[in-house]
Chain A
Amino acid sequence: MPASARDYSLIGRDAQLAEANGFAAAEWYSCSIPRKELKELMRRSDGPALRDTALWLSCLTLSAGGGVYFWGTWWAVPFFVVYGVLYGSSSDSRWHETGHGTAFKTRWMNDILYYVASFMILREPTVWRWSHTRHHTDTIIVGRDPEIAVPRPPDVIGLLLNLFALKSAFHTLRGLFLHAAGRLTKEEETFIPETERWKVYLVARIYLVIFVIVSAICFYIGSILPAMLIGLPTLYGGFMAIFFGLTQHTGLAEDVLDHRLNTRTVYMNPVFRFLYWNMNYHIEHHMFPMVPYHALPRLHQLIKDDCPPAYTSTIAAYREIIPTVLRQIKDPAFFVVRELPDRTKPAPYNHGSVLKMADQKTAGRAV
């Protein structure tokens, strides 16, 4: 297998190269939308998120109630599957949307759901707020983006472990202990401002206290039922988060300043779109991140002619993703090239000094 030519660390060689070659905090391609329409799309309201959150909390409560009622029988299994997906997977999109501050018009509503959903998906809210900010500034720019889910060559075992959030949970727990001790990693220091760091330390301590209390209750009553409701659903219900999340960027180009080339928009059914809060419109989200989730389908209609065709289904996306990931194990230079509409201007690729300096070859080939 060829050695990986890329350094995905935020403090390594490719971080310096990204800055030197103008990929850091660069100007990105943006589809043209009349200002009036964009303002209308960006306009906030509480209604859709209040409705969706009420439905979400109701489903969580009912499925938890069923799981507890039938605990000790096989009938509890379907209830915990539903509860787990709502808790450990759909919390991902709630975390995401409220992190952008777009789900609700009312700021405190965003903040409350952001902190609750962060705990459910087992992410530290301050760390991830800042890492996601960087992800939007430097989407899939090697050495700059801390949220590249599938570096090349792909860590397939890690991906499989993350179907049950095992690798990510281990990483988070390690971070919790570090942060609870009042420290950050060197990489975190590159994107978390000093004025925000006290929040990281405080929330890490709160998380650990909650886990200690839940564990103590489990030991006291001699049952894992409390942990099945708080904590473990992140693991046993996390598979849909990665199922949705991998459609976003996996296998597409690195180091391009055009979201149409490194991001997928995938048509999904209404249930998936409820669980995922319309993040299947991911090109639209990255290009105009201040457009609320409920307005993304309208935004899609406005820009779709200036984008590569959307994937017709999640299955269609995985028909591309799985072979690409498997091929990248042996050929890390391989990636999927998205075809842009003819009339669009070309976006800058990394086929230049970055690659020469890194002494590697990269050639995009369409699958």
Chain B
Amino acid sequence: MTGSWINACGTEDIEAEDVIRFDHEGRTYALYRTEDDRYFATAGLCTHESVHLSSGLVMGTIIECPKHNGRFDFTSGKAKGAPVCVDIVTYPVKVESDRVYVLVDA
């Protein structure tokens, strides 16, 4: 993937087993922190009805859309059953000096 690493947030800006929204250059992303302090990023909107996933519930490595119960594995982007039928885009993440960086498309 080509693109640039964006300084998205601090590691403590996301609670353990939670998600936050991150907007950059007109696009919206969802940033996740697992219970064991791993960080991930996906597109911010559900592939079903374009609802912001940052209002959803993180359970393990699953993000559940707050509107219709659509679920994705945010580590792989895999859709986990109806009503979501299309996988969600994931983005590489790295942590440096307590900051979370996301590699977004150029």
- Judge whether A196 and B82 touch: CB under 8 Å: yes
Q: What per-residue 1/0 map shows which CB atoms of A277-301 lie under 8 Å from chain B?
A: 0000000000011100000000000
Give the Cβ gap from A86 to chain B, nearest Cβ, in Å.
26
- Judge whether A39 and B67 touch: CB under 8 Å: no
- Judge whether B66 and A100 touch: CB under 8 Å: no
A-B contact count (CB 8 A): 43
Of A9-17, A128-136, A218-226, the one with at least 4 CB within 8 A of chain B: A128-136
Q: A195 — which chain B residues lie within 8 A by C-beta?
A: 85
- Judge whether B66 and A288 touch: CB under 8 Å: yes
Q: What per-residue 1/0 map shows which CB atoms of A88-104 lie under 8 Å from chain B?
A: 00000000000011100
Q: B57 — which chain A residues lie within 8 A by C-beta?
A: 39, 42-43, 290
Interface residues of A in 239-287 (CB under 8 A from B): none
Whole-angstrom CA separation of A288 from B48 in the bound complex: 17
Given A25-B49, A42-B57, A43-B57, check contact A289 B83 (CB 8 Å). no
- CB of B97 within 8 A of chain A? no
Whole-angstrom CA separation of A286 from B56 in the bound complex: 15
- CB of A350 within 8 A of chain B? no
- Judge whether A289 and B67 touch: CB under 8 Å: yes
| 29 CB-based A-B contacts, threshold 8 Å | A25-B49, A25-B50, A38-B55, A39-B18, A39-B57, A42-B66, A44-B59, A100-B69, A101-B64, A101-B69, A102-B69, A130-B82, A133-B49, A136-B67, A137-B49, A137-B67, A137-B68, A195-B85, A196-B85, A288-B66, A289-B66, A289-B68, A289-B69, A290-B56, A290-B57, A290-B64, A290-B65, A290-B67, A290-B69
What is A's interface to B at a CB cutoff of 8 Å? 25, 35, 38-39, 42-44, 100-102, 129-130, 133, 136-137, 193, 195-196, 288-290
